[in-house]
A = this chain, B = another copy of it.
Amino acid sequence: MAFLSLTNVRKVFPNAQTAAVEDFTLDVEKGEFVSFLGPSGCGKTTTLRMIAGFETPTAGAIVMDGKEISNERPNQRNIGMVFQSYALFPNMTVADNIGFGLKVKGAPKTDIKQRVTEMLALIKLEQLGGRYPYQLSGGQQQRVALARAIAIRPKLLLLDEPLSALDAKIRVSLRNEIRAIQRQLGITTIYVTHDQEEALSLSDRVVVMNHGVIEQVGQPFEIYNFPKTAFTASFVGTLNMHDATVLDAAAGEVRLAGASIAVPSAALGGHRAGDTVKVALRPELLYVHPTGAAVENTLTGVVENVAFLGAVARIHLAVGDTTILVDEFNNPQLSVPAIGSTLTTYFTPESCMVLG
Interface residues of A (CB under 8 A from B): 39-40, 167-169, 172, 176, 179, 194-197, 200-202, 220-221, 224-226, 235-238, 282-285, 305, 307-312, 314, 327, 329-334, 336, 350-351
Q: Which 6 pairs, one residue from A and one from B, show the smallest C-beta to C-beta distance?
A: A201-B307, A220-B308, A168-B195, A225-B332, A237-B310, A284-B311
Q: Is the interface of A mostly helix, strand, loop or mixed?
A: mixed
A256–B30 Cα gap in the complex (Å)?
Answer: 40
A226–B351 Cα gap in the complex (Å)?
Answer: 34
A329–B283 Cα gap in the complex (Å)?
Answer: 11
Q: Name A311's closest neighbour in chain B (CB-CB).
A: B284
Q: Name A330's closest neighbour in chain B (CB-CB).
A: B284
CB distance from A35 to the nearest CB of B (A): 12
Complex contacts, A282 vs chain B, CB 8 Å: 311, 330
Further 8 A-B residue pairs, CB within 8 A, beyond A168-B196, A202-B307: A168-B194, A197-B310, A201-B308, A224-B308, A236-B310, A238-B310, A282-B330, A283-B311
Partner of A224, one of B220, B284, B310: B310
Is A196 touching B221 in the complex (CB atoms < 8 A)? no
Complex contacts, A221 vs chain B, CB 8 Å: 308, 334, 336
Partner of A331, one of B176, B226, B351: B351
A221–B167 Cα gap in the complex (Å)?
Answer: 22
Is A332 touching B351 in the complex (CB atoms < 8 A)? yes
Is B284 touching A167 in the complex (CB atoms < 8 A)? no
Is B350 touching A200 in the complex (CB atoms < 8 A)? no
A133–B163 Cα gap in the complex (Å)?
Answer: 27
Ordered by A's residue number, 23 sampled pairs between the chains whose C-beta atoms are within 8 Å are: A39-B169, A40-B167, A168-B195, A169-B235, A176-B307, A200-B307, A200-B308, A200-B310, A201-B309, A221-B308, A221-B334, A238-B310, A238-B311, A282-B311, A283-B311, A284-B312, A284-B330, A285-B330, A311-B312, A311-B327, A329-B329, A331-B351, A333-B350
Q: Name A235's closest neighbour in chain B (CB-CB).
A: B169
CB distance from A350 to the nearest CB of B (A): 7
Partner of A225, one of B224, B225, B330: B330
Is A167 touching B194 in the complex (CB atoms < 8 A)? yes
CB distance from A99 to the nearest CB of B (A): 29
Complex contacts, A200 vs chain B, CB 8 Å: 307-310
CB distance from A312 to the nearest CB of B (A): 7
A309–B172 Cα gap in the complex (Å)?
Answer: 11
Q: Name A224's closest neighbour in chain B (CB-CB).
A: B310
CB distance from A141 to the nearest CB of B (A): 13
Complex contacts, A284 vs chain B, CB 8 Å: 311-312, 329-331
A176–B226 Cα gap in the complex (Å)?
Answer: 26
Is A285 touching B237 in the complex (CB atoms < 8 A)? no
Complex contacts, A39 vs chain B, CB 8 Å: 167, 169
Partner of A314, one of B201, B327, B330: B201
A351–B329 Cα gap in the complex (Å)?
Answer: 13
